């Protein structure tokens, strides 16, 4: 009879340890799932900000305009498309490439985030190449289950990536 009590006591102890371990793992899983949800939302918002910069900085086309309208709010569309001026195409072919260097994410609230996008635009005009480094603050809001660009503000970075103009500035000093 004493052996049964010892075995039951030992099994009870192992069962309690097992349950405590499972509860700890269960809470860790919940914390990790919460982090996954937050990081997924961060990735979605950052991807929309990157897509916005890529589309907005490229040469305007009807396709790009339609894509921009899908990822922007009415306020942002007013800022983007309010220009009444018709721009004449420049002579010669200008090729440009937008390269996203860095993004920085800042959550303002559950439905508002700010993404700072640092990017370069490489221009090729005939045989001449130049580039500039820029920064844009993009405010996004969550509408239903999607992030949309609400406002944006451009800033030019201090660095000048154009080697030709940098050399000319150094020569004049």
Domain boundaries in the chain? Answer: 3-82+92-155
Give the per-residue pLDDT at 124. Answer: 87
Quick one: which of 111, 69, 56, 60 has its CA closest to 87? 60
Q: How far apart are CA 46 and CA 117, in angstroms?
A: 9
Give the per-residue pLDDT at 161. Answer: 52
Average pLDDT, whole number, for the chain?
85
Is residue 85 pLDDT above 70, yes or no?
Answer: no
Which range, of 68-77, 86-95, 110-119, averages the lowest pLDDT? 86-95
**Region of residue 71 (left: phi > 0; alpha: psi -120 to 50; beta: else):** alpha
Neighbour-count burial of 42, counting CB atoms closer than 10 A to its CB (0-12 exposed, 13-18 middle, 19+ buried): middle
Which range, of 56-60, 147-151, 155-159, averages the lowest pLDDT? 155-159
Q: How far apart are CA 46 and CA 143, in angstroms?
A: 15
Give the per-residue pLDDT at 95. Answer: 83
pLDDT grade for 127, boundaries at 50, 70 and 90 = confident
Mean pLDDT within 23-44 = 94
pLDDT grade for 160, boundaries at 50, 70 and 90 = low
Is residue 65 pLDDT above 70, yes or no?
Answer: yes
Is residue 171 pLDDT above 80, yes or no?
Answer: no
Which range, of 59-68, 97-106, 163-172, averages the lowest pLDDT? 163-172
Task: Write the class of the CATH domain 3-82+92-155.
Answer: alpha beta
Mean pLDDT within 132-146 = 93
pTM passes above 0.85: no
């Amino acid at each position: 009879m004493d052996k049964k009590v010892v075995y039951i006591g030992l099994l009870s102890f192992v069962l309690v340890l097992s349950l405590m371990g499972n509860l700890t793992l269960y809470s860790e899983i919940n914390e990790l799932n919460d982090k996954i949800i937050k990081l997924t939302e961060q990735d979605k918002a950052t991807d929309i900000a990157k897509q916005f910069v890529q589309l907005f900085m490229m040469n305007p086309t009807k396709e790009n305009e339609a894509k921009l309208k899908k990822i922007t709010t009415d306020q942002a569309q007013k800022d983007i498309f309010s220009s009444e001026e018709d721009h004449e195409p420049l002579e010669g072919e200008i090729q440009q490439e937008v390269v996203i260097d860095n993004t920085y994410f800042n959550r303002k609230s559950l439905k508002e985030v700010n993404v700072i996008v640092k990017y370069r635009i490489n221009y090729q005009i005939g045989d001449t190449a130049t580039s500039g480094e820029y920064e844009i603050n993009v405010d996004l809001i969550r509408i239903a289950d999607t992030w949309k660009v609400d406002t944006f503000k451009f800033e030019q970075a201090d660095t000048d990536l154009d080697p030709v103009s940098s050399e000319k500035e150094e020569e004049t000093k």
